[in-house]
Structure formats: C-alpha cells, structure tokens
Structure 1
Amino acid sequence: MSENNPKPEREEELPDLDRPFFSAVLTPHRSLGPTGFMILMCVFGVVCFCAGVLFLRIGAWPVFGFFGLDIALLWFAFRLNYRSAQTFEEVVVSRQEIAVRKVGPGKKLQEYRFNPFWVRLTVKRLEDEGVVKVSLVSRGETVELGNFLNPDDRTSFAGAMANALAIAKAGGV
C-alpha cells in the first residue's frame, strides 16, 4: 500500500507556527552600580561625619544627628531606586501571538496577549526628543511598552517591533 502524502525526511523541516521569531527583554538602565553606590555612600558618610564633628565642637550637638539622618535618607532613596530597577518587560512575537509580560517592583506581574493581525503599533514622536511613547493597541486595549527606556533605546525598539509585527502579519519568517 502506497501513501499519497509523502512524509518529510526530517521533522525539523516542518514549519512551527508557534515558534517565536522575535523576543526582547526591556530593562531600565541604572548608571550607578553596586561598587559606585558603596563609594558614594562612603564619601558622603565621611563628609557628613567631618561636618558633624565640626558642629559638635562648636556646641551644636543636635546637628550631628541630622547628618546621620541625611546618610540614612540617601541610603533609603537608593534602595528604592535599585528595587524599581528590577522591573522588566518581555515581548515575544510569533505568527500566532504577541505576548507581553510586565514584571514590576515586588514581582507584580501583568500579562497581555494579542493576535498580530488585530494589533496596531503606535509610536509617538516629538521633534526635540525622538520617540516618547510606544504602545500596542487592539480592540480598545492599549499596552505601553518601554516607558523606562531612554529615547534612543525606545526608537531602536520601536523599529524592531514594527519589523516583527510586519513579519507576523505577512505570515511569518
């Protein structure tokens, strides 16, 4: 008995409709790393301590405590900043779906899924700044992407996302 539909020689030759062809993980940039933070805190601490000792010597001892409070507030502000730096957005595009996963501070998770044929990419540009807003719009739902990126990175991502969306709407790679 012969087969009417010959089987491909290898299974890898079959196109996988759900395989993503575009994937991006967007993370906020922080210019001060852990080593720089420690250096900054040590320098700030030495300056505050020396100034506090001067005030202590002239009899204004309560000021010494306020310099310690300044150090604590600066440390707390940087801790909050580094905590917010743990946010990221993951965008995955396949022929069948666009998946957006946003992870915020405290591991707060939001997931969005779109059909590439029904989604529209909107890019807002300002002449002075470049791309200021990138979002996906589908059936009344809008998801902004990369709000924490600088304008150059946002411009690069908008171009890559527009290309990926065009490929998905054309039927794949």
Structure 2
Amino acid sequence: MTRTITIENMPPTVTGRTAASSGPDPVTGDEDFRFHALLFPNRSLTADGFRRVLAVVIGVNLVNAVIYFTLGAWPVAFFCGVDILIVWWAFHLSYVQGRRHERVMLTDDALWISRVLPSGHETRWKLNPFWARVEFDRPASHETQLRLVEKGRVLILGSFLSPQERGELADALGAALSKAKTA
C-alpha cells in the first residue's frame, strides 16, 4: 500500500505571538467540551535524568582532560570542554522543542485547533464540526499522518506523537465528531 504525504493547506483563523489575547476566544470558561485534548511531544529524560547524564559527561571529560593535559596534549583538554558544551546545547534544544504543543477543543458549534510553537507563536484554526472529518491511514507507521479535512482543506495534527498515539487520537476525535454531528 502506497502512503502519500499530505501538505497542510488550511489557512489559520488567528495567528501571532499573542493570538490568545488578540484573536477571538475559542471557548468561554464555562463552556462544556465534547472533546478536549492537550498534546505535547514525548520527553524521554526528566530534569533529574538530564543532570545525571550531564554529570557523567562532565566526569568522563574531566578525567580525559586531566590525562591528556598531563601527557602534554593540552589542546585535547579544550575539546573535552567543548564536548560538554555540545551535549548541554543538544539537550537544551530538545527541551525547548518540548514546549511545542497543540490543543484540540470540540464544542457544540466549533472545532478549535491551537498550535503553539516553542517561541510562543500561536496559530489557531476554527473548523465547523459538521464539515470536518478525521483521516488516518491504517496500519499506523512512522510516516502516517493524522489529517483533519474540511471542504478540501487539510490540517495535520500531532505530527510529534508516536504512530500509536496518533491512532488513538484519531479514534477518539473521530468518535467525538460523529457524536457532535448526530446531536
């Protein structure tokens, strides 16, 4: 079976760093949700685990730096310090990317999708739940996309989730949209 990668072509309703304050409020505080999901990327290492890994990296590089420095190869000690900085920087970038999230909110009259990038830039889409449908290819693989389609326009959801998580989200959101259409 051939899978095609779909390109997102749905224009946002509201966009910008302060979309939450400048755009229409997607839901009021007392509104009941038919479906509500907050999606975050998976983080495989806690803050305590990061400190432990960095401590091991620092320890190993410090021992190597001392050995090479005593042997007269002092430039190697400099590169051991650079190794520590590179490992810290890579983890820092990973944690920054972990701030990305998406929020899916289904009410009686609208399906709101909010995507917040690590920079704080927010993009929102408002879809009509009677026109929106969920598309997800089975069996799920790494390349499988969860697509929301409304009148030929496509919005990709949860690209940072695992294939199993995207499948579970597709099932739950599809069921919620079906209930909203029949109610």
The Cα shift of 1:126 comes to 4.1
Alignment match, 1:142 = 154
Q: 1:91 aligns with which of 84, 99, 104?
A: 104
1:125 lines up with 2:138 in the alignment: yes
Q: 2:126 aligns with which of 113, 124, 127?
A: 113
Alignment match, 1:53 = 66
Quote the sequence identity (%): 33
RMSD: 1.6
Give 3-state SS (helix, strand or coil) of 1:55's partner: helix
Gaps of 5+ in 2: 1-30
Q: Is the 8 A contact 1:98 1:114 kept in 2?
A: yes
Q: Find runs of 4+ consecutive structure 1 residues off by over 6 angstroms.
A: none
Q: Is the 8 A contact 2:142 2:162 kept in 1?
A: no
Q: Which amino acid aligns with 1:135?
A: R
The Cα shift of 1:95 comes to 2.3
The Cα shift of 1:130 comes to 7.4
**Pairs aligned (count):** 153
TM-score, scaled relative to structure 2: 0.79
Q: Deviations over 1:37-93 (max 9, x none)?
A: 000000000001101111111111001000100100110111110011011110011
Q: Is the 8 A contact 1:131 1:152 kept in 2?
A: no
Q: Which amino acid aligns with 1:162?
A: G
Q: Deviations over 1:18-42 (max 9, x none)?
A: 6321101011110100000000000
Alignment CA distance shift 1:131-1:163 (3 Å): farther
Alignment CA distance shift 1:104-1:33 (3 Å): same
Alignment match, 2:182 = 170
Distance 1:131 1:165 in 2: 24
Q: Is the 8 A contact 1:97 1:114 kept in 2?
A: yes
Q: Which amino acid aligns with 1:96?
A: D
Q: Which region of structure 1 is more displaced relative to structure 2, 133-142 or 63-72?
A: 133-142
Q: Which amino acid aligns with 2:95?
A: Y
Q: Is the 8 A contact 2:147 2:155 kept in 1?
A: yes
The Cα shift of 1:141 comes to 2.4
Q: Which amino acid aligns with 1:41?
A: L
Alignment CA distance shift 1:36-1:85 (3 Å): same
1:72 lines up with 2:85 in the alignment: yes
Q: Which has the higher contact order (CA 8 A, sep 6+)?
A: 2
Distance 1:131 1:103 in 2: 22
Larger Rg: 1
Q: 2:168 aligns with which of 150, 156, 161?
A: 156
Alignment match, 1:9 = none
TM-score, scaled relative to structure 1: 0.83
Distance 1:167 1:63 in 2: 65
